[in-house]
């Protein structure tokens, strides 16, 4: 059998190397593709577009045919590749010397602290200010993803272009969520003199026209049944208050104690949360029916790993738990038909049915700790009257007709747990 002879690379193949983005479910990577003079194909992948551009220019230098001059230089190959990439970024807008002069005149070294270390400090600052567990998790997760993207460069060297390239991976609300966390982080870093300015300041949010989703009455029953029958029913009070009083799950409900539940006047004293203002919510009859079935010797928000424990409640109600740190949990979450849990969906459910029942956006805004404009724009008219009637008639006895445990109550038990 005759040996195969590689065809000589054509002129078209050796003229340039291209950089193309490869989109994957876990984010994007960048590929450099092209051919060397001997016909060898190059296909290399990089985490960032900047690395790919630098490699493409370095390869172009190696494969240039007659367009190069030999000159004496003290620059390393890496520095030459950086220069080529920088000139590509500048295009026809200026020279490399002008760009370097501008950088020297305007850049102010402030800390040199690696961005990952700054994120750890920022998360610690938020923890001291008693921010929610979910908020701390999102800071570490979203800002940490950016730190990996820029290879943990010093926080005072991050440019607006770095943030823009990172955000290009996302769209819609995900884009806004990442932008929001990075904006707050760099605002704090600037105030702490870790950097000189906020590179996210002039990056605008994307317009996302989406009304909040809410649970239909049957889905509400499923969630309440799951809370009743999972984790010994310890989360029933938490879920019932989230659904029928609309407290913000993290910033308000996790701070609520039985002392804030007034059984005599059917009221709940909502702790200061996101808005920094305390308020009183009139508790509905069905909410008080659920709370009367709960063991008030236990806290409303049980201790322990909330994310993991509440994930069990969500899975029991047919949702993905969100905690996927084992093969078993990933297998459960990936089952066909499992619904995605939406943050704050219990609060959205309460507001939707409350405004439908009372028909007053101002009364609803007061009860929810929100603005009338938000209520009118996103909640008014979302549910039907029949759905609202069904929602407010859900009681422990209507869940499935089963027996609901009546826990023994100590006298004034609601005043014993702070």
Tokens 């702790």 appear where? 271
Q: Are residues 88 and 148 in the same domain?
A: no
Would you say residue 197 lies in a domain? Answer: no
What is the length of the chain?
Answer: 418
User: Which of 191, 225, 249 is at the close of a domain?
Assistant: 191
Q: Which residues partner with 281 through β-bridges?
A: 268
Would you say residue 212 lies in a domain? Answer: no
Helix 236-244, helix 217-229: angle, nearest 10: 160
Q: Are residues 342 and 388 in the same domain?
A: yes
Would you say residue 204 lies in a domain? Answer: no
Q: Are residues 371 and 305 in the same domain?
A: yes
pLDDT at 12: 41
Smallest Cα–Cα separation from 251: which of 132, 415, 156? 132
Burial class (CB in 10 A: 0-12, 13-18, 19+), 129: exposed
Would you say residue 35 lies in a domain? Answer: yes
pLDDT at 3: 53
pLDDT in tens, 295-340: 999 999 999 999 999 999 999 999 999 888 889 999 999 999 999 9
pLDDT at 65: 52
Would you say residue 96 lies in a domain? Answer: yes
Cα torsion 198, 131, 271, 372 to 10°: value is 40
Q: Are residues 70 and 91 in the same domain?
A: yes
Q: What is the DSSP letter of 108?
A: -
Q: Are residues 274 and 228 in the same domain?
A: yes
pLDDT at 68: 54
Would you say residue 2 lies in a domain? Answer: no
pLDDT at 262: 94
Tokens 């808005």 appear where? 275
pLDDT at 386: 94
3-state secondary structure at position 366: helix
How many domains would you assign to the chain?
3
How confident is the prediction along the chain (418 residues), in pLDDT tens digits per residue?
455 554 444 444 434 578 888 877 667 788 888 776 666 778 888 888 888 887 877 777 666 555 555 667 778 877 777 777 777 777 777 788 887 777 766 665 677 899 999 999 999 999 998 887 878 988 999 999 999 999 999 999 999 999 999 999 888 778 888 999 999 999 999 999 999 889 999 999 887 656 688 999 999 999 999 999 999 999 999 999 999 999 998 889 999 999 999 999 999 999 876 667 778 999 999 999 999 999 999 999 999 999 999 999 999 999 999 888 889 999 999 999 999 999 899 999 999 999 999 999 999 999 988 889 888 888 888 899 999 999 999 999 999 754 444 544 444 444 433 3
> What residues have CB less than 8 Å from 201, skipping those under 6 apart?
183, 186
User: Which of 50, 76, 106 is at the close of a domain?
Assistant: 106
pLDDT at 31: 86
3-state secondary structure at position 235: coil
Q: What residues make up the domain containing 77?
A: 11-106
pLDDT at 403: 45
Q: Are residues 139 and 283 in the same domain?
A: no
Q: Are residues 123 and 64 in the same domain?
A: no
> What residues have CB less than 8 Å from 110, skipping those under 6 apart?
156, 193, 194, 195, 196
CATH value at residue 187: 1.10.150
pLDDT in tens, 387-410: 999 999 999 999 975 444 454 444
Q: Are residues 95 and 121 in the same domain?
A: no
| CA 221/CA 238 separation, integer angstroms | 14
Q: Are residues 20 and 97 in the same domain?
A: yes
N- to C-terminal Cα distance for the chain?
Answer: 86
Residue 290 contacts residue 224 (beta carbons within 8 Å): yes
User: Which of 59, 86, 106 is at the close of a domain?
Assistant: 106
Global confidence as pTM? 0.56
pLDDT at 107: 60
Q: What angle do CA 391, 395, 397 make, to 5 degrees?
A: 135
pLDDT at 62: 66
Residue 152 contacts residue 114 (beta carbons within 8 Å): yes
pLDDT at 109: 63
Would you say residue 200 lies in a domain? Answer: no
Structural Rg of the chain based on CA atoms: 29
pLDDT at 139: 93
Q: Are residues 365 and 222 in the same domain?
A: yes
pLDDT at 69: 59
Q: Are residues 120 and 70 in the same domain?
A: no
| CA 77/CA 216 separation, integer angstroms | 63
Q: How far is CA 197 from CA 48, 129, 160, 185, 413, in A?
A: 23, 23, 10, 11, 52
pLDDT at 363: 92
CATH value at residue 343: 1.10.443.10
Would you say residue 392 lies in a domain? Answer: yes
| CA 349/CA 368 separation, integer angstroms | 11
pLDDT at 39: 64
Q: Are residues 20 and 149 in the same domain?
A: no
């Amino acid at each position: 059998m005759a040996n195969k002879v590689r065809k000589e690379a054509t002129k078209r193949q050796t003229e340039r190397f291209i950089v193309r983005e490869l989109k994957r479910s876990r984010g994007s990577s960048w590929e450099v593709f092209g051919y060397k003079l001997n016909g060898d194909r190059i296909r290399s992948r990089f985490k960032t577009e900047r690395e790919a551009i630098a490699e493409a220019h370095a390869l172009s230098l190696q494969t240039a045919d007659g367009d190069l001059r030999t000159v004496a230089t003290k620059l390393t190959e890496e520095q030459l590749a950086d220069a080529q990439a920088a000139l590509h970024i500048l295009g026809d807008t200026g020279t490399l010397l002008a760009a370097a002069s501008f950088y020297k005149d305007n850049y102010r070294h402030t800390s040199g602290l690696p961005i990952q270390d700054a994120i750890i400090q920022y998360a610690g600052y938020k923890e001291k200010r008693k921010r929610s567990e979910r908020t701390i998790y999102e800071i570490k997760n979203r800002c940490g993803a950016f730190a990996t993207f820029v290879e943990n460069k010093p926080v005072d060297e991050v440019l607006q272009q770095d943030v823009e390239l990172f955000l290009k991976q996302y769209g819609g609300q995900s884009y806004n969520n990442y932008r929001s966390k990075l904006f707050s982080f760099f605002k704090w870093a600037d105030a702490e003199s870790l950097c000189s300015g906020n590179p996210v300041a002039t990056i605008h949010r994307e317009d996302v026209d989406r009304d909040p989703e809410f649970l239909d009455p049957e889905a509400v029953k499923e969630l309440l049944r799951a809370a009743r029958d999972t984790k010994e029913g310890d989360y029933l009070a938490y879920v019932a208050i989230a659904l029928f009083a609309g407290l913000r799950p993290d910033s308000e409900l996790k701070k609520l104690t039985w002392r804030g539940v007034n059984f005599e006047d059917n009221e709940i004293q909502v702790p200061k949360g996101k808005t920094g203002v305390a308020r009183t919510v009139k508790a509905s009859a069905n909410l008080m029916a659920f709370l009367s079935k709960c063991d008030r010797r236990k806290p409303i928000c049980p201790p322990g790993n909330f994310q993991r424990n509440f994930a069990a409640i969500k899975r029991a109600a047919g949702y993905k738990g969100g905690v996927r740190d084992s093969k078993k949990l990933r297998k459960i979450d990936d089952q066909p038909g499992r619904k995605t849990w939406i943050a704050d969906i219990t609060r959205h459910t309460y507001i939707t049915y409350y405004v439908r029942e009372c028909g007053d956006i101002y009364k609803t805004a007061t009860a929810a700790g929100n603005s009338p404009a938000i209520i009118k724009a996103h909640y008014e008219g979302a549910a039907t009257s029949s759905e609202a009637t069904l929602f407010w008639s859900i009681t422990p006895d209507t869940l499935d007709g089963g027996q609901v445990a009546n826990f023994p109550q100590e006298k004034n038990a609601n005043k014993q747990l702070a």
